[in-house]
Amino acid sequence: MRLLTARLLDSREILPGQWLMRWEAPWLASTALPGQFVHVRMPEWAGMLLRRPYRLNTFDRIAGELTLHVRVAGRGSAWLTQLRPGESVEMLGPLGRGFEVDPRSRHLLLIAGGAGISGVRALADTAVAEGRQVTILFGAARASEVYPASLLPDEVEYLVATQDGSLGHHGDVTELVGTYEAWADQAFAAGPPGLLAALARIAAGRDARLGVARLGRKRGANPDPLGSPGARRKSWLQVALQQTMGCAVGACLGCVVTGVQGPQRVCREGPVFAAAEIDWEAAG
């Protein structure tokens, strides 16, 4: 983690109120992992004292560039998206723990709702580069809010669900998951809390639906403790949470969510968690 200056290379509105901003930030781009985020300094002269967290949407280690997918949702994001190429901001990062992909996983299912796609977008790039097969299920309210397929790697299979049926499947994106739950070795999700809670319920019943046998532990083998990288890798579903943050480095407890083993700081223990680590009833 370092505090660095990033220079804006270009910025464009890819969906109403949603901007794709490309930054020159060589060190951040070379050390980032899918699922991590940066904390961006806001202009103090405008009275915005708190930094804002943004997920690392994509990063290009060779070019030394990264992108942020910014949805305008308040003064901070409105200020950021009005910057012009050549202007700079201070970024702290990369922060948090990213996704844990099992080296044996060949088929990855990525599930996203709305601008939450920025939480799993970088994973699509790294997974494709590693030769894995990737399917993205994307949910939105209507066609005009659907993430453009042209911004995804060609190798990715992309399926869309819209609430009003104006594009793709008519209904919830969760209704598409059943077709892929046997195919996918692992699933990774980002989006609104209601979507993640629904996916956690689906994941909890998956073993029983697929008839996956629960074999006894190998003698002498210690199970990976909940929250460890090993346990997350073995979890079928990992979720990238998004939370309002203060410090983003684990000190203020401003980002805590309820986990099954007690409070979890989204900025330190997360933002990626195994679905079974979160107490979804308390979180909802």
CB 139 within 8 A of CB 75: no
Among 56, 255, 272, 278, contact with ligand FES (rule: CB under 6 A) = 255
The answer to whether 248 contacts ligand FES (rule: CB under 6 A) is yes
Question: What is the distance between the alpha carbons of residues 103 and 132, in angstroms, rounded to a whole number?
Answer: 10
Among 94-102, 134-142, 175-183, 246-254, the segment contacting ligand FES (CB under 6 A): 246-254
The answer to whether 253 contacts ligand FES (rule: CB under 6 A) is yes
The answer to whether 26 contacts ligand FES (rule: CB under 6 A) is no
| Residue among 31 and 243 whose Cβ is closer to ligand FES | 243
Q: How far is the CB of 225 from ligand FES (least distance, A)?
A: 21
* Residues 176-215 within binding reach of ligand FES (CB under 6 A): none
The answer to whether 246 contacts ligand FES (rule: CB under 6 A) is yes
Q: Is 99 exposed, middle or buried (0-12, 13-18, 19+ CB in 10 A)?
A: buried
Give the list of residues 6+ apart from residue 58 with CB closer than 8 angstroms, or none. Answer: 66, 67, 121, 122, 125
The answer to whether 245 contacts ligand FES (rule: CB under 6 A) is yes
| Residue among 168 and 271 whose Cβ is closer to ligand FES | 271
Tokens of 128: 């494709």
The answer to whether 250 contacts ligand FES (rule: CB under 6 A) is yes
Q: Which helix (H) or strand (E) holds 247?
A: none
The answer to whether 267 contacts ligand FES (rule: CB under 6 A) is yes
233-246 in b/e form (b: 16+ CB < 10 A) is bebbbbbbbbeebe
Q: Using CB under 6 A as the criterion, which residues of the chain lie in contact with ligand FES when the complex forms?
A: 245-248, 250-255, 265, 267
